[in-house]
Amino acid sequence: MKDALHLCQNPSGCGNTATVVLVNTVSPRAKRRYRCAACAAGEIEMMREAGFGANVRAESLLSLFSPIAADRGGEGSLVESKPPRKQKPPVVVSFVDTRHHNLTGYMFFWAKYVQGFDPREHCAKCLLGSWSAQIRMEMRMNTAYIMSEVHPASYRYIYLCGVAPVKDAGVQIAMEESPGEEFEEMTYNNIRIRVQGARRLLFPKLARNFHGMGPAYTTCMNYQFGVQYFGMGA
């Protein structure tokens, strides 16, 4: 059997590494469910919204040094499990808006796990990597999103972008994992964005006619970030 203890068992089959186990505190004998942090957070939120998840909590697999129950199709037998190698805690991005339940005030809003840069493109296309499925236009406010949707080795940076209808009022946040660090930004429409477990990355504007590029490239902050952290040799 393929190391069931270390893979997320979300029915949707995300395939990520499991980092937590969901535990029913009322019924200790209930089957434990192994999840990655993102799936665990989403599952608990859905259960609580439905009114029956208050007794479910997530425990870090990093702290489970005793034998734990493996999900073997209902057998529930105990196996000896070596603790996984210590992993960096994931980046957590929170959005606080006391007036609205869902994101408002943006024409586009997205995040990418960035692993490269294509200088032939601009805007989101120039940043190569996986899109976040949870940071999007339809996302809920007053929620913490755990940025562990892809394996940490598959990207170098996380880029958060929001395009607003007001000039120069968008959100452009580039970050790099850094356990213990955090920062905040208040948006033009009073959404507080809090990032934990990462440091913010700064990047300068590009000179006019940089490499013969037009303003669609040189004024694009996605492009400016790509040039600063990956260079033009892609």
pLDDT higher than threshold 80 for residue 3: no
Residues 103 and 70 in one domain: no
Contact 156, 167 (CB under 8 A): no
Is the torsion defined by CA of 66, 70, 74, 75 positive or negative?
A: negative
Residues 137 and 53 in one domain: no
The C-alpha atoms of residue 226 and residue 116 are separated, in whole angstroms, by: 8
Residue holding tokens 């960035």?
A: 114
Q: How confident is the model at residue 233 (pLDDT cuts 50, 70, 90)?
A: confident
- State which residues form the domain around 36: 4-79
pLDDT of residue 86: 56
The answer to whether residue 111 is domain-embedded is: yes
Residues 116 and 185 in one domain: yes
Residues 100 and 168 in one domain: yes
pLDDT of residue 14: 73
Residue holding tokens 């492009």?
A: 223
pLDDT higher than threshold 50 for residue 179: yes
Residues 64 and 161 in one domain: no
Residues 42 and 111 in one domain: no
Least-confidence region, from 25-29, 88-92, 96-100, 213-217: 25-29
User: 3-class DSSP state for residue 114?
Assistant: strand
Tell me how many helices (H) and strands (E) the chain has: 3, 12
The C-alpha atoms of residue 94 and residue 217 are separated, in whole angstroms, by: 30
What percentage of the chain exceeds 70 in pLDDT? 74
Residues 120 and 194 in one domain: yes
Residue with the larger pLDDT of the pair 152 and 135: 135
Q: How confident is the model at residue 38 (pLDDT cuts 50, 70, 90)?
A: confident
Q: How confident is the model at residue 20 (pLDDT cuts 50, 70, 90)?
A: confident
Residues 43 and 110 in one domain: no
How many other CB atoms sit within 10 Å of the CB of residue 142? Answer: 14
The answer to whether residue 86 is domain-embedded is: no
In one-letter notation, the amino acid at residue 151 is H
Q: 99: Cβ–Cβ under 8 A, 6 or more apart, which residues?
A: 190
pLDDT higher than threshold 60 for residue 81: no
What percentage of the chain exceeds 90 in pLDDT? 58
- pTM equals 0.65
The pair of three-digit structure tokens given for residue 97, joined into one six-digit string: 């808006």
Residues 16 and 95 in one domain: no
Residues 44 and 120 in one domain: no
The answer to whether residue 16 is domain-embedded is: yes
Please count the structural domains in the chain.
Answer: 2
Residues 28 and 107 in one domain: no
Chain centroid to CA 118: 22
Residues 99 and 164 in one domain: yes
pLDDT of residue 166: 93
Q: How confident is the model at residue 115 (pLDDT cuts 50, 70, 90)?
A: very high
The answer to whether residue 84 is domain-embedded is: no
Q: What is the mean pLDDT of residues 28-42?
A: 73
pLDDT of residue 190: 96
